[in-house]
Amino acid sequence: MRYAQIVLPLNLKGSFTYKVPEELVPVIQTGMRVLVPFRGKKIYTGIVFEIHDIEPEGFIPRDVISVLDEFPILPKEQIDFWNWLSAYYLCTLGEIYRFAFPSSLKLESETYLKLKPNVTVDFENLDVNEMYLIQALEVRQLINLTDLEAFIPKKDIIKTINSLIDLQYIEIDEKIGEKYKAKEVAYVKINERLLDNESLTAILAKLNKAPKQKDLFLLILSNQTENPDTYIKKSDLFEDGIFGHSHLKPLVDKNFVEEYYQQKDRLESYEGEIEEIEELSESQKKAKEEIDQAFEEKRNVLLHGVTSSGKTHIYLEKIEECVNQGKNVLFLLPEISLTKQITQRLEKKYGRKLGFYHQKLTDFEKVEVWRRIKNNDIQILVGTRNALFLPYQNVGLVIVDEEHDSAYKAREVSPYFNAKDSALVFGGFYDARVILGSATPSVESYYLARKEKMKYIFLNERFGNVQLPEFELINFKEAQDSKKVSGNFSLHLLDEIKKTLEDRNQAIILHNRRGYANVLECESCGYVNYCSNCDVVMTYHKAANEMKCHYCGQRASRPKACPKCHSENLNERGVGVEQIHEEVSKLFPDKEVDRMDVDSMRKKFAYEKLYEKIEDRETDIVVGTQMISKGLDFDHIELVAIPKADSLLYVQDFRAEERAFQLITQVAGRAGRVSGKGKIYIQTFNPEHSVFQLIKMNKVTKIYYHFLEERKKFHYPPFTKLIMIELKHRREDKVNRASQFLGSVLRKYLPEECVLGPERSQIARINNLYQFQILLKLPRGKNYEKYKHQVLLSLKDFNEITAYQSIKKDVFVDF
DNA sequence: AGCACGCCGACT
DNA sequence: GTCGGCGTGCTC
């Protein structure tokens, strides 16, 4: 007897045991997709994680219905990776499965209704809905549940179906079908048998009465004789509007013209020239040699290269080497929108052997990448965090670019894994080497590399020996006191911007807060506009003239008067990027000032358009949020200003200073990339702040030493491991009680100093769910697994309380 | 997760 | 009296 452990695309723990029927025993393998029944007639696509012959106890397993794959879709390495993810991040395999697979690859059965054979229906006793349904079934035989909503009110559906089943008129069935459809293109050609002169004359004679058809026939014929080897696209025939389907159809019906279809890739590939990469500079060569050496010792690498040091260059060399060894490369980026430079360079070299994968592809496009990876047609895959789950056969190199970027961390959907850390483990399973690259490595990675867990390689020189930009701290308090300010800008900064523009150069202004004003406050009664779903104030967006909640997305029109006291004096408080943009536009009325933030980039191709505008130097000043710190590599940006830099530090988060450092350094890196004369202006009330001082001095080792000292002092990572448990529920008292309970259980299992909280989350309510959190600070190293096991036990105790099962619980490991 | 079962309030 | 609200339990 053979049994299989099957993972289902549901948020359920572990796998389920199914019996493998005799006929499937020779074909089933781990990593294949199978169809299995689950709960009644419902059918799911599961994945075989294990095949064994241990008879289960306590229940009778059901049979595997069928095997969907000829070869395993998940390689062994991925199965190991999933198991590791599930154990490390305390999530279920089902969650990983759902996240990893495009939905077309995990078919679910759909429920259909049909009439029972040979029934006679007594319409007298049926109500309107029942009658509708029976009549519909008599016409269409099968109806799925979603179609039903079109003619029966939603709330009556269940009732109607149940009643008709009771009457034995209808029955329920499940159907499962392939969702993926290859994209097909229609072609036409003249029927070959007619291609001799005699038949052609006869046909043309026949078509004399239909001149349009005749012309179309002649068009196809001439195309075909001109280029006998190329196909004639059906859509091309109709392009100039002279002919239509009504002219072609008779020709096809009379068998003069044949129509046929060809499958076409949805994925556009580069078809242009293939270029070689340029030679490395001396310092790049040295860095590359160090990487080679580390790889010899099977060690991973943290490549810490200052902005414009040409990390990409080194990546390209390593990619080339890896491909030449017949192995494939996975190149991870935090967001696909910033792939322009790297993909342009890779495309020119690898053409069709390059693939992309990210969440913005359509489902069918994803399936096509899956197939190409599985067929080993892709040598280099550029993708975001979800690209870790493609069915790679042999990976030799993994590159995680901008490794410090928080986009590698998932906070929205489970599994809550960090793609940067996971990539290191992933590399281990494939026996591939990993390069983490950044100009501002995360404190954690820096620490690991310094502790020799990875090879640390520092590229301290910009490409072409170009100077790093110069930092100037502007004491805004002093400027204010001496009346040398205009709005949010010191006169000194405005002067510098003016000079930059006069030289026909460009400037960037960073202000990391969306909207126009943070709060709209009533002057007479102090009323502020709260979101009705969340415990946050609504942000005023002037461009859209509306109030937006940045947490649940709710929008409302801007109130004309205070809803409480009807005063019309509403103050705009807290400066947003829209306001800075407006201010700068007024200060430089004859210059082109553009804004770049999520709100202004929402339209399709808005980013691309602005990108080109900046590239063509039509834009003089770009005002934006953190978005402008990424990917804007242009030659003529010479000045970067951060008018309200203090706002970067006043964030309640132990990583606030690290983030501020990363953001400032990254945006500073946009300046003076070619000239080496970039200038950075940081306006602050606090020029003495150690982070600003350290950035200004540009002593990298000192900065990280500072961060590490702070982390050590307050027991934060990398010196401890954090796990954050967040509980959510519609009712505040309930989630409060539940988190108190979980807190006490955790304290029972763990030392007192490890458990912090529970406490109300910083935002106590989002989308009408009240949130509480418990923070666990666990020791690193050997004991960590032991402690984590205790956490699991606590969660198990908690789950056993049935009253708390409706509480949504999220566990963030390495929070 | 989703879906059925089962126990209490608001209506014909 | 019924309908339907959602809290609870289970799925190989």
Question: pLDDT > 90: what percent of chain A?
Answer: 53
Q: Looking at residues A713-735, what average pLDDT do you find?
A: 90
pLDDT at A602 exceeding the cut of 90: no
Q: Is the pLDDT of residue A321 over 90?
A: yes
Mean pLDDT of A743-755: 92
Lowest-confidence pick of A7-16, A136-145, A306-315, A674-683: A136-145
Query: Residue A135 phi/psi, 5° resolution?
Result: -65, -40
Report chain A's mean pLDDT, rounded to a whole number.
Answer: 89
Helix (H, G, I), strand (E, B) or coil at A77: helix
Angle at CA of residue A81, ends A80 and A85, nearest 5°: 120
pLDDT of A264 over the 80 cut: no
Model pLDDT, residue A97: 95
Instruction: Measure, in angstroms, how far nucleotide B2 C1' is from residue A180 CA.
Output: 24
Task: Name the nucleotide nearest A806; use CA and C1'.
Answer: C7
State yes or no: A754 annotated in a binding site: no
Instruction: Quick: pLDDT tens for A394-419.
Output: 999 999 999 999 999 988 888 999 99
pLDDT of A490 strictly over 90:
yes
- pLDDT, one tens digit per residue, over A68-103 is 999 999 999 999 999 999 999 999 999 999 999 998
The distance (Å) linking the CA of A772 with the C1' of C5 is 27
Name the nucleotide with the smallest C1'–CA separation from A145.
B3
Give the C-alpha separation, A695 to A657, whole Å: 11
pLDDT tens sequence across A531-547: 888 888 999 998 888 99
Q: Compute the distance between CA of residue A103 and CA of residue A108 in angstroms, rounded to an integer.
A: 9
What is the per-residue pLDDT for A766? 85
Residue A557 has pLDDT above 70, yes or no: yes
pLDDT at site A141:
80
Mean pLDDT, residues A797-814 = 85
Is the per-residue pLDDT at A728 higher than 70? yes
Predicted local distance difference test score (pLDDT) of residue A333: 94
Of A342 and A487, the structure prediction assigns the larger pLDDT to: A487
* Structure token digits, residue A173: 């069935």
Contact A516, A502 (CB under 8 A): no
Give me the pLDDT at residue A177, please: 67
Structure confidence at residue A267 (pLDDT): 67
Q: Quick one: chain A helix, strand, coil %, rounded to 5?
A: 40, 25, 35
The residues, any chain, with a CB within 8 Å of residue A199's CB and separated by 6 or more, are A193
Q: What is the pLDDT of residue A442?
A: 97
What's A106-137 look like in SS3? CCECEEEEEECCCCCCCHHHCCHHHHHHHHHH
A34 in Cβ contact with A46 (< 8 Å): yes
What does the pLDDT read at residue A271?
A: 66
Strand B, nucleotides < 7 Å from a protein CB: these are: 1-4
Give the model's pLDDT for residue A406. Answer: 94
Protein footprint of strand C, defined by Cβ closer than 7 Å to any strand atom: A 12, 16-18, 36-39, 56, 59, 61-62, 155-156, 159, 802-803, 805-806
Q: What is the DSSP string of A173-186?
A: EEE-------EEEE
Q: Looking at A650-707, which runs of residues are DSSP E strands?
A: 679-684
User: Which comes out higher in pLDDT, residue A174 or A72?
Assistant: A72
Question: Which residue would you say has higher pLDDT here, A602 or A684?
Answer: A684
Contact A437, A401 (CB under 8 A): yes
Is A562 annotated among the ligand-binding residues?
yes
C-alpha dihedral (A29, A426, A378, A102), degrees to nearest 10:
60
Helix or strand (DSSP H, E) at A557: strand A555-557
CA A160 to C1' C5 (Å) is 19
Through-space separation of residue A655 CA and nucleotide B7 C1' in angstroms: 49
Q: Which two tokens stand for residue A352?
A: 């069709």
Tell me which range, A75-84, A341-350, A752-761, is most confidently predicted by mean pLDDT.
A75-84
* Beta-carbon contacts of residue A800 (< 8 Å; ≥ 6 apart): none
A364, burial (CB in 10 Å: exposed 0-12, middle 13-18, buried 19+): middle
So what's the pLDDT on residue A50? 96
Q: Which pLDDT band holds residue A269 (cuts at 50, 70, 90)?
A: low
- Stretch A511-535: mean pLDDT: 88
Residue A531 in marked binding region: yes
pLDDT at A136: 85
Between CA A390 and CA A392 the distance in angstroms is: 6
Closest nucleotide relative to residue A64's CA, C1' based: C12
User: Distance from first CA to last CA of chain A, Å, rounded?
Assistant: 44
Lowest mean pLDDT segment, chosen from A334-338, A370-374, A424-428? A334-338
The pLDDT of A213-217, averaged and rounded, is 85
pLDDT classification of A63: cutoffs 50, 70, 90:
very high
**So what's the pLDDT on residue A418?**
97
Find the largest Cα–Cα distance for chain A: 99
CB neighbour burial string for A483-498, b if at least 16 within 10 angstroms, e if fewer: ebbeebbbebbbebbe
Look at residue A443 and tell me whether its pLDDT is greater than 70.
Answer: yes
Strand ranges (E), A158-244:
170-175, 183-190, 232-233
For the full predicted model, state whether its pTM sits above 0.95: no
Segment A652-702, tens digit of pLDDT: 899 999 999 999 999 999 999 888 899 999 999 999 999 999 999 988 999
